Amino acid sequence: MAQKFGANSLAFARTAVAASVLALIPVTTGAIAAMDAKTQNEFARFMAVFEEVRANYVEPVDANTLMDGAISGMLSSLDPHSGYLDARDFEQLRTQTEGEYGGLGLSVTLEDGAVKVIAPTADTPADRAGIKAGDYITHLDGKLIFGSSLDEAVDQMRGTPGTKISLTLVRPGRDKPIDVTLTREVIIIKPVKWEVKNNIGVISIASFSETTTRDLRGAMTAIDKSLGGRKPTGYIIDLRSNPGGLLDEAIGVSDTFLNKGEIVSQRGRRADDIERYYARAGDMAEGRPIIVLIDAGSASASEIVAGALQDQHRALIMGERSFGKGSVQTVLPLTETTALRLTTARYFTPSGRSVQEGGIDPDVKVPQISDPDYKNRPKFREADLQRHLINEKKVDNSVLESDTKEDPRFNMTAEQLKKQGIEDFQLDYALKTLTRIAAGPKMATSGAAPAVPTPKAPVPAAPAKKN
């Protein structure tokens, strides 16, 4: 079965594809004969190199090793999210889509030979140790790992639950390296957590795995029960540092709060290759106000949800600009243990916006000033990745209204906030804002909460150069 995912490169959505796509036929004499002359010449060039390496390399080389390297190299020349999944990668994919795996709770990538943290998973050893997105891991148990492959670094970080490992981190903005010791454990990703604060349902979605929509609806039911059967004042949906996940789950989460209308569309290389997904009747929140929190770590499936609720004027989007991954990958099995992960489409919000490169701009920009490293740490986004897809639909954001007054609290320090009992400034800001929205005009002059701007109207995207 093939799989599609509209999230980051570690999470996938199962879907059916045409049988012709699945018919991955080995190259035979007949297949070569069907190629055009130029393709035949290129294939012959590849085979000539293959044979020269096998015949003349200083040490014997296994043909499978050469072929795996060739395939990986071919796919790595495309974009950051296409790739070849060998047996180990394919097994890792399966365990991650099921929401449980062993390790430290880190998503990492390789950047110019250095292991860079994409994001820690909430409530894991990495998260509890204070590891941040954008940190570089330079040493494992005191040994330099610069220049190692990503697989080698991941293998060293994984291990038997209960065993310890030391990491040395370089954090932009910090003068000295940071040393942390973590204890490995079985990472069970709980995609949805909830709590009630000030009669507001706060729902954190850490990933879009197979049970996210079901768990979200279960959380909303549990919130009602905790309030004696009453609905909360409103909801805060926290998508910060959520790297994405299954496309179907992003659609399901959006549909939970929408009564009608388009949620997302995906468009392939041909102009007529468009799939659209729509909401069904039934808003589980029954029209109550919603704030969605996003940041630079909110990617793909998270951006689908934020974009759908923003374009449909169903939620106020708050926080920082999101990651900007607007592509869809399809996983095509090659054998029982290997697969091809290929970027096959771009996705678009209901108004026709592509978030590729640019991400989702919040209606209300709120910095996370409770993080002492906030100002000094650079934000890592899709546009920073080598060979990222270019956004072919450009939107004129100059016509969007921006806040003319900055909240004076934005200039406070993390230490000042801590003295006021505020550990999470963005969440605190969202709670006060939602309270004011629910209370209506009677609080307009009370100064009890920040001013609430009207969500931005979506701007129609300019026609694509090609689609």
Q: What are the catalytic residues?
A: 300, 311, 325
**Residue 103 parent element (H or E):** strand 100-103
Distance of alpha carbon 377 from alpha carbon 134, whole angstroms: 7
Long-range contacts of 417-425 (CB under 8 A, 24+ apart): 417/369, 417/370, 418/370, 422/370, 423/370, 424/368, 424/370, 425/366, 425/367, 425/368, 425/369, 425/370
Catalogue the long-range contacts made by 269-272 (C-beta closer than 8 Å, 24 or more residues apart).
269/467, 270/467, 271/467
Q: Is residue 320 a contact partner of residue 294, using CB atoms and an 8 Å limit?
A: yes
Tokens of 97: 């889509």
Long-range residue pairs from 441-445, CB within 8 A, at least 24 positions apart, any chain: none
Q: How far apart are CA 356 and CA 380, in angstroms?
A: 14
- Give yes or no for a contact between 168 and 137, defined as CB atoms under 8 angstroms apart: yes
The span from the CA of 232 to the CA of 331, in Å, is 40
Report in angstroms the alpha-carbon separations of 134 from 89, 116, 174, 332, 449: 23, 6, 12, 31, 32
CB-CB contact of 156 with 145 (8 Å) = yes
Residues 6+ apart with CB under 8 A from 353: 307, 311, 393, 395, 458, 459, 461
Contacts of residue 198, defined as CB under 8 A and 6 or more positions apart, other chains included, come to 233, 431, 435
Q: What backbone phi and psi angles, to 5 degrees, belong to 255?
A: -65, -25
Taking the C-alpha atoms of residue 330 and residue 75, their distance in angstroms, rounded to an integer, is 13
Using the 8-state DSSP alphabet, how is residue 400 labeled? S
Residue 232 region, left (φ>0) first, then alpha (ψ -120 to 50), else beta? beta
Residue the block writes with tokens 């003068």: 175
- Provide the 8-state DSSP code for 208: B
**Whether 452 contacts 403, CB under 8 Å:** no
